[in-house]
Chain A
Amino acid sequence: MQIAVASGKGGTGKTTIATSLALSLAKLAKVRYFDCDVEAPNGHIFLKPVFDQISPAVILIPQIQPEKCTACGHCVEVCQFHALAKVGKTILVFPQLCHGCGSCTWNCPENAIIEVPNPIGTLERGMARENIAFLRGQLTISEPMATPIIRQLKKMEQPSEEFVDIFDAPPGASCSVVETLQGVDFALLVTEPTPFGLHDLKQMIGIVRDMNIPAGLVINRDGIGDDSLEELIQEEKLPILLRVPFNRLLAEKLAAGQSLVDVMPEYREVLVKLYQEIREIVGGSDK
């Protein structure tokens, strides 16, 4: 079972829910937690992993061999990311714009391009509290490309019925979120009843519908904001799997690095039930 926890809007409680779900299921199943928020991973604060493996995340970028290059400019034309430019008889490479797609190498008529690894971050693996396998990707500061790291992070383990995999998604509704959602059985959308939460939830609903992924909602900070979220949910007919009422004391403890289930242990049982509901939804769908 692979579950992605996503939100659109940042700070709605993705990591709060993802880490507490992992902790709640750890006694019942083998749990793997993947921190896919590679630009600002923070699951480690709550799950306290000890890392025993670290490796560089690399993408292959072009290197032009000047003795073979005729500066025909084919590579510049085929690069849709503008990672190459032709200036006089020289081809310039802009590594930070390169997605590592290989089109330039493939299309070079002179075989003048070789591919060299360009490190953009790190991949880490370790064990966390309650025997949760913890995997984390981290993008090097100033590197702009999050998706290759997320792809490589997810590939560190094979999907297996033996495991519950929890993917803590990055905020937003762009490529890196889509990469996190790719192939999962279920999307748990964490939102809050505010105009920002609502706006981004609409985008997330569009994405999961496009990708044909069953989804359910967690309404965090329930009780604040307005009713527009409830109206949308009725229209969209999405199941509400959990409501977490706004609670200042909880917010303070979370900010101090305690997990939801540490502060309010009764949520363990609630989150186990939420997982059972997810199983029912996934079992009843095509999968």
Chain B
Amino acid sequence: MKLIISAQNPTIESPVDTRFGRSQWLILVDADTKQWKAFQNPGVSQSGGAGVAAAQFVVDQNAEVVISGDFGPNAARAFQSAKIEMRLFLKQALTVEEAVDLYNSNKLLKFS
């Protein structure tokens, strides 16, 4: 299962970023093997439409699940159309790796 998680730094140990469209980094993680790769969020440098730019990137990576603190209406619409599941880490997860563990044990809230 391919997850993308918003993060403050480009590692799996990084603190999560509660913002989606404006997070510095997006970390692609394989939920089973925990192999990961960090990508600069293309949304972060946009003057507008950051959520759509970041969502387009997630869609293009063929991720199945996207995890962040919240999703704006535009990003959420893109993910709903792409049938990409949105999950929220609220205040439970401090790092990207913890967010993956919480996802694996099905403890992350579904965004709706």
Interface residues of A (CB under 8 A from B): 76, 81-88, 90, 92, 94, 96-97
Give the residues in chain A near B82, CB-CB below 8 Å. Answer: 87-88
A87–B82 Cα distance when bound, in Å, is: 5
Known contacts A76-B56, A82-B53, A94-B74; A87/B48 CB under 8 A: no
Contact B56 A82, beta carbon cutoff 8 Å: yes
B59 at the interface (CB under 8 A from A): yes
A85–B46 Cα distance when bound, in Å, is: 15
Give the residues in chain B near A96, CB-CB below 8 Å. Answer: 74
Q: Chain B contact residues: over half helix, strand or loop, or mixed?
A: helix
Known contacts A87-B78, A88-B82; A94/B59 CB under 8 A: no
Contact B81 A94, beta carbon cutoff 8 Å: no
A157–B44 Cα distance when bound, in Å, is: 40
Besides A86-B59, A87-B78, A97-B52, 10 new A-B residue pairs in contact (Cβ under 8 A), listed by A number = A76-B56, A82-B49, A82-B53, A82-B56, A84-B52, A85-B78, A87-B82, A94-B52, A97-B48, A97-B74
Give the residues in chain B near A92, CB-CB below 8 Å. Answer: 77-78, 81
Can you give 26 contacting A-B residue pairs, CB < 8 Å? A76-B56, A81-B48, A81-B49, A82-B43, A82-B46, A82-B48, A82-B53, A83-B49, A84-B52, A85-B52, A85-B55, A85-B56, A86-B59, A87-B78, A87-B81, A87-B82, A88-B81, A88-B82, A90-B81, A92-B81, A94-B49, A94-B52, A94-B74, A94-B77, A97-B49, A97-B52
Give the residues in chain B near A87, CB-CB below 8 Å. Answer: 59, 78, 81-82
A76–B59 Cα distance when bound, in Å, is: 13
Contact B48 A85, beta carbon cutoff 8 Å: no
Minimum Cβ distance to chain B for residue A146 (Å): 13
A126–B87 Cα distance when bound, in Å, is: 52
A86–B43 Cα distance when bound, in Å, is: 15
Q: When A and B form their complex, what is the total count of cross-chain residue pairs whose Cβ atoms lie within 8 Å?
A: 40
Minimum Cβ distance to chain A for residue B69 (Å): 20
Number of interface residues of B (CB under 8 A): 15
A238–B48 Cα distance when bound, in Å, is: 34
Contact B59 A85, beta carbon cutoff 8 Å: yes
Interface 1/0 per residue, B52-87 and A, CB below 8 Å: 110110010000000000000010011001100000
Give the residues in chain A near B74, CB-CB below 8 Å. Answer: 94, 96-97
B4 at the interface (CB under 8 A from A): no
Q: Nearest CB to that of B46 among chain A residues? A: A82
Q: Nearest CB to that of A90 among chain B residues? A: B81
Known contacts A90-B81, A92-B78, A94-B77; A83/B52 CB under 8 A: yes
Minimum Cβ distance to chain B for residue A239 (Å): 34
Interface 1/0 per residue, B9-33 and A, CB below 8 Å: 0000000000000000000000000
Of residues A85, A88, A92, A96, which shows the largest number of chain B Cβ atoms within 10 Å of its Cβ?
A: A85
Contact B59 A82, beta carbon cutoff 8 Å: no
Minimum Cβ distance to chain A for residue B94 (Å): 30
Q: Nearest CB to that of B79 among chain A residues? A: A87
A85–B42 Cα distance when bound, in Å, is: 13
Q: Which of these, A76, A82, A88, A90, contacts B50 with CB under 8 Å?
A: A82
Q: Nearest CB to that of B82 among chain A residues? A: A87
Known contacts A87-B59, A94-B74, A97-B74; A82/B52 CB under 8 A: yes
Minimum Cβ distance to chain A for residue B47 (Å): 9
Q: Nearest CB to that of A97 among chain B residues? A: B49
Minimum Cβ distance to chain A for residue B76 (Å): 11
